[in-house]
Amino acid sequence: MKLRPWNNIKINECNEPLISIPETIFRLTPHPYMSLGAPYSNGADPWVLRRSVLKRLMQAQQYLSEINPQLQLALFDAWRPIAVQKFMFNHTIEETCRSKGIDINDLSANRDITDVIEEVGRFWAKPSSNPLTPPPHSTGSAIDLTLADMSGNPLDLGGEIDFIGAESTPDFYKKDYSMMPCPKHQVFQKRRSLLYSVMSQAEFVQHPNEWWHFSYGDQLWSWLSKQGNAIYGAAFEVSKDITLSVPSLVT
């Protein structure tokens, strides 16, 4: 699998701790990957972020409240241990193969399986233990989220989080509704634009393939915002509160 262009960005780890996300930021529960049995060992908490990332997330929530007090951000996922990244990467490959009728154990289907791996890799970062190319969520600087009403009901943004397909591209509905107006698609694009607006105001960048994925301080952020380097590498939670260590190699 090819490296992404931002994987060449240098990381100058700033050693900010992971901080628990307060419950004032709405979470979609139960946590989707925990429900699948993903290996969050030793009671690891997915609802943590680097300190500066959390600060900006709370700013984004405030911006949204000022624009539309009837809406709130709805977190889908935050910090993700590399073991969980590996579990979900493989799970998504298996599920995608199954949906396409590909037998993952059939050696004659190697080419089809390789195509699926490449397709999945556009959305799921390779679960690398290389400290130079950490998966974004492992850094504690990336979040997956959507919009919800104040009762906690997620809005329809024209595609499910983690969907593998073109509909996940942030501006998928923009061309469609400008060329051939469709009221439903206009709503989807306006909601996606609103989410992007409040997150970018808080200095987050958006993944080019995923309308729901935003980050601050990682390699993607550095690449898109033309910063000299990233400030977060992979984060390894030692304490459930704020302690963090960054070893040179994940095993």
The catalytic residues are: 210
The rounded distance, in Å, linking the Cα atoms of 215 and 188 is 22
Angle between helices 110-121 and 82-99 (to 10 degrees): 130
Across-strand partners of 149? Answer: 71
Half-sphere exposure (Cβ direction) of 3: Cα atoms closer than 13 Å: 12
According to DSSP, residue 149 is labeled E
Q: Lay out the sheet containing 205-206: strands in order across.
A: 26-27, 71-77, 142-149, 213-215, 205-206
Q: Output the furthest CA–CA distance in the chain (Å, rounded).
A: 56
Helices (H), the chain: 32-35, 51-67, 82-99, 110-121, 172-179, 183-201, 219-224
